[in-house]
Every structure is written in C-alpha cells, then in structure tokens.
Amino acid sequence: MKFASFIFASITALSASTPHSSDAKHWSYNGIFSPENWGKISKTCSAGKSQTPINIETSKTIPTVDRKDILKFYNYKTSLKTSVINNGHTIKITPKFLETYNEAYITIDGVRYNLLQFHMHTHSENRIDGKQSDLVAHLVHQSYDGKLAVVAIFFDEGEENSAIKEYWNQMPQKVNEVNSLFNVDISRILPADKSSYFTFMGSLTTPPCTENVKWFILKDRQTISKDQIEALRTIYPHNFRPVQNINSRTIFER
C-alpha cells in the first residue's frame, strides 16, 4: 500500500512540476497566460510567501551548521531507458532504472528523495547576485512521504557539453513528442563538486506553484556551447519565471 501511494504521489508531482500543454488550465511564458497571470490559474502563484525563483544575494546568506541541510547523491549511474520529452514548456528527461529500489536518489540529512525527472530552462530561473546563467537543469526529487526537493545545476556558455549533447541528439521538436535513449549515464549531468551549494525553502516554478519545496543551487557549474543553448531557445526562447520576493526566508550556504 505504501509503495502504491508513493507511485501515485510521484506521478502527481511529475505532472505538477512540468505540466503538459494539454492541462485543463493552460499557462505559458508570454501572452495572456504569462507568469503575471498565473495567480488566476493557482492562487498560490500570486499569494504564496515562499515562491521560486529568487535572487540570491551572497552577502546575505547564512552558513549552514555541520549537521544541517547535508545533500548527498546516490546511484546516479546508467539508466536502462531514458525518455526525452517535449511537454509544451520545456525538454524533460525521465530516466528509468532496472529496479525501482536501485534508482538514482539524493539524501537530505539522511532522508531519501528519489529522482523523478530533470528539465531545462533558459535562462536560469534563480539568480546569483542578480545574474542568470545561460541554462539551468532542475533535478526534481521526491521523498516517500511526498515531499519535493529540486537540485539546480547552472550551465554557462563555453565548451560543448557531452552529456547535454546526448539528450539534444534526441530532442523532440514537437509538443508531446517523446524520444528514447538507452544506457545513458545520467551522472554526467552533475558537476564535479556537489558539496557546495545554496539552499532555501521555495516552490515549484510553474503552476500550481506548490510551496514547501526544498531547493539546492549547486555552486559548481557546467559549460554548454552556444549551439546547444540555441537548440533549446529555438523551441522555447525564454522559458523562465521572473524572480519572486524572498519575504522572510533565510538563504543558507554551504
């Protein structure tokens, strides 16, 4: 029963974090369904007090204590099959492993969060001292009790990224189109240093803008070529939400 509940929760979070264009309540990044009107779709988008993305001012962050907000990665390895999906808002990558108990996951202070999917925004949504990166990958994870945690990896223009290239070679151009990859090493999406990051409580960055999401912004960055950036922007020129008010939140740094 617990396993069945987890699967249901996973599916719900998966669709909530990157909805499809066929959703009953349509939204977009421009026009009448743009971010300033998302509050008409979900009140949380406009009334929530812990919305994401935010601008992280590094002069105001607080160091974490040794035993708080410890992020660790496990089983980021070769997936049996990986789906590359154009969901109408972004390119989403969903890995599938041979055994569900042996899938990729993170722990936060020892609590396990399984990897559901990761997807891309250009430019980045969160900012560091007012600056955006050229592209960001959001790795969406979920705990057994349904809580969400997102790890953000920034990509700056530079050398071609071989990990991104593998997914981009199968990038679907049409909405709801799905392509498949086999035996993909998903660990290559991660930067070398995964121990330094900013962390805060936030929300999903798309409707319904659900809050109580734990965010980790890795400090170490990857590079990505201009052509790889343009490949996504050709389909989705600016699929990022504007920054939101921090309000009374504290941004921690490790």
Q: How far is CA 197 from CA 62, 226, 248, 252, in A?
A: 12, 26, 20, 8
Kindly calculate the radius of gyration of the chain based on its CA atoms and give it in whole angstroms.
17
Task: Classify 45 as helix, strand or coil.
Answer: helix
Residue 204 class from Cβ within 10 Å (0-12 exposed, 13-18 middle, 19+ buried)? buried
Q: pLDDT tens-digit profile of 174-223? A: 999 999 999 999 999 999 999 999 999 999 999 999 999 999 999 999 99
Cα separation, 117 vs 194, whole angstroms = 18
Identity at 46, one-letter amino acid code: S
- Residue 92's nearest CA partner among 115, 121, 122, 119 is 119
With tokens 């290559």, the residue in question is 188
- Residue 198's nearest CA partner among 213, 182, 216 is 216
Q: pLDDT tens-digit profile of 34-67? A: 999 999 999 999 999 999 999 999 999 999 887 7
Tell whether the torsion through CA atoms of 158, 219, 250 and 38 is positive or negative.
positive
**pLDDT for res 7:** 40
In order of start, what are the domains of the chain with their CATH numbers?
A: 2-253 (3.10.200.10)
Identity at 106, one-letter amino acid code: I
Please give the model's pTM, rounded to 2 decimal places. 0.89
φ/ψ of residue 243, rounded to 5: -65, 150
Task: Classify 44 as helix, strand or coil.
Answer: helix
Is the pLDDT at 14 greater than 90? The verdict is no
Label residue 17 by pLDDT band (50, 70, 90).
Answer: very low
Q: pLDDT tens-digit profile of 135-175? A: 999 999 999 999 999 999 999 999 999 999 999 999 999 99
Residues with a catalytic annotation lie at 89
